[in-house]
Amino acid sequence: MKNITSEKRDVTQRPVDPPDQERRPHGVPTPRADHAEILRGLGSLILPNALVELRVLGADRAGTVSGYFDPNHRQSLANACAEWSGRGAGVYLSLNPVNADLLARGSNRVKTWAKHTTSDADILRRVRLPIDFDPRRPSGISSTNQEHEAALARAHQCRDWLRDLGWPDPLLGDSGNGSNLVFAVDLPNDPAATELLSRCLQAIAFQFDDDVVAVDLTTYNAARIWRAPGTLNAKGDSTEERPHRLAGLLEVPTTLATVSCEQLETLAAMLPSEEQADSRQHVRRTKTDFDLERWIEDHGLPVVAKKTWQGGRIWLLNPCPWNAEHNNRAAYVGQLANGAIAAGCHHNGCRGKGWPDLRALYEPEASDRTSSKARRSSGGHTNGDTSEESLCQDRWPDPPDPAAFYGLAGDIVRVIEPHSEADPVALLIQLLVGFGNLVGRIPHFTVEADDHYLNLFANLVGSTSKGRKGVSWGQILRLLHAVDPDWADNRVMTGLSSGEGLIWQVRDAIKSRQPVKQKGQPPRYEEVEVDPGVPD
């Protein structure tokens, strides 16, 4: 059982006593800000030591309202949220920690007509992945109760689906018009992390976006602002049909556990791509040559959802045609915008399954015809492999000879292998490079009078998520941590970074010529160390 606090809010009615109502110039009365909920939201959404920007959008006669609050002024921040609730379209908070220098823009207070707000470059690190479910409707208006409830239900479905994938429980929120999930992550603020989180959102949209509820694909940016719980979502006028509602937190885990990089990569890999499609479609089929929808109906595939996606069409299948135990909407078949057909299942046990395999499952004679054609087109030489997939894809290299698993390193891999999904080759490479770095520049070869030390570099290439590359390093790191905790804690950097980020982790000291000003004297310059760099 997951340990979730019992503080759940009534999201459909939220009765409000008359003293807690205020009448806006147009429309029906709206609820006042919930100060206690604002404080609870600050404690749940924001890291305790983080600088936070408060921003109000659409404020009447105030432009953009913005201010920055340090950790010692959370009460002042809550007061400001309550004060501005209902005075614009919404009150928002920055989710990720902000550069402390920005406090000087508005030190623990808000300013109207703000010219500068937090940009992606101002974020120190990514600690939150927000996912927003919004009912589809015309812009600039609130949702109906029915639309609101549809978005809430969709967020619950997504939370349960991600839980089945091993994800920890998130903050489950009500935005006032829709619903949202906020997960804890721990990533650098760099292009690689941005791309990863963007693909995660696309993978979630692939599963849960439809004509009723939309998944916001723009919430991956580092400087994303989020509606403050306990404040009013005030889009348009509040009417009986489309009332203004307070945002709030519906479920708050006792501990907001961090989603691992491996889990994020697994989710991102669920996004179908052209590489997963039948690549020969690109040259010899158009969209109308093969009626995929008719084929699906004729063969009775277990379709649970159908949607348009990136100019193509996708059918989600449940259970998986290849393994009925995969019953969390993990399987799919679809036709991309260029006519190529893709199919697959996100479970590791179905690794490598594609459209040829799905068609052969329901239409074996089609597979036989394809094999016969392949033999004729190749003059009868197929090297024993006549599958459609093998004819249009490069083959992976054969595994190394068992002699590669030599000595103690091989023994370690053989002990770990039964308890891991990682490829033994990945375990071996991670072990050799990790151990080589741990012992440092001591082992060497002597050639005449010269000592030749080893410089170890490794690059694991495998299918994203399915290759279990990250898992292989986790197993080895745990072993090496027992050997040298200081090395593991201080010399191993994050595995997700850009090229610039890698250079930064091994940088030398940085020096800069800076002016030295003395009253009545002409300026002179001296070299100053502005960054000590990283010890070798």
**pLDDT surpasses 70 at 76:** yes
Question: DSSP letters along 465-511, please?
Answer: TTT-HHHHHHHHHHHHHHH-HHHHHHT---S---HHHHHHHT---EE
What does the pLDDT average to over 315-341? Answer: 82
Of residues 103 and 13, the one with the higher pLDDT is 103
- Express each pLDDT in 259-310 by its tens digit: 999 899 989 888 776 555 544 443 334 444 678 888 888 888 888 888 777 7
Query: First CA to last CA across the chain, in angstroms?
Result: 47
pLDDT score, position 107:
92
Nearest Cα to Cα of residue 478 among 524, 520, 536, 431: 431
| DSSP code of residue 102 | G
Lowest mean pLDDT among 163-167, 427-431, 457-461: 457-461
Interatomic CA distance for residues 365 and 122, integer angstroms: 59
Of residues 245 and 347, the one with the higher pLDDT is 245
Of residues 40 and 8, the one with the higher pLDDT is 40
Lowest mean pLDDT among 86-95, 241-250, 447-456, 520-529: 520-529
Interatomic CA distance for residues 424 and 414, integer angstroms: 8
- Express each pLDDT in 88-107 by its tens digit: 889 999 999 999 999 999 99
Query: Which residues are CB-neighbours of 358 under 8 A, at least 6 positions away?
Result: 321, 322, 333, 343
Q: Which residues in 402-414 are b (16+ Cβ under 10 Å) and which e?
A: eeebeeebbebbe
**pLDDT surpasses 50 at 16:** no
Three-state secondary-structure class, residue 118:
coil
**pLDDT surpasses 90 at 118:** yes
Q: What is the mean pLDDT of the chain?
A: 81
pLDDT score, position 339:
79
Domains of the chain in start order, with CATH, are: 24-268 (3.90.920), 274-391 (no CATH), 402-505 (no CATH)
Q: Which helix (H) or strand (E) holds 331?
A: strand 331-335
pLDDT score, position 357:
85
Report the interhelical angle of 364-377 vs 355-362 (nearest 10°): 130
Question: Phi/psi zone of residue 55: left (φ > 0), alpha (ψ -120 to 50 degrees), beta?
Answer: beta
Of residues 29 and 476, the one with the higher pLDDT is 476
Q: Which residues in 494-519 are b (16+ Cβ under 10 Å) and which e?
A: eebbeeebeebeeeeeeeeeeeeeee
Any idea what the Cα angle at residue 131 is, between residues 129 and 132, rounded to 5°?
Answer: 145
pLDDT score, position 11:
40
Half-sphere exposure of 483 toward its Cβ, with a 13 Å CA cutoff?
A: 14
Interatomic CA distance for residues 494 and 154, integer angstroms: 33
Interatomic CA distance for residues 335 and 343, integer angstroms: 9
Interatomic CA distance for residues 148 and 174, integer angstroms: 9
**pLDDT surpasses 60 at 447:** yes
pLDDT score, position 253:
94
Alpha helices (H) along 330-446: 355-362, 364-377, 388-391, 407-416, 424-439
Of residues 145 and 497, the one with the higher pLDDT is 145
**pLDDT surpasses 90 at 227:** yes
What does the pLDDT average to over 54-70? Answer: 90
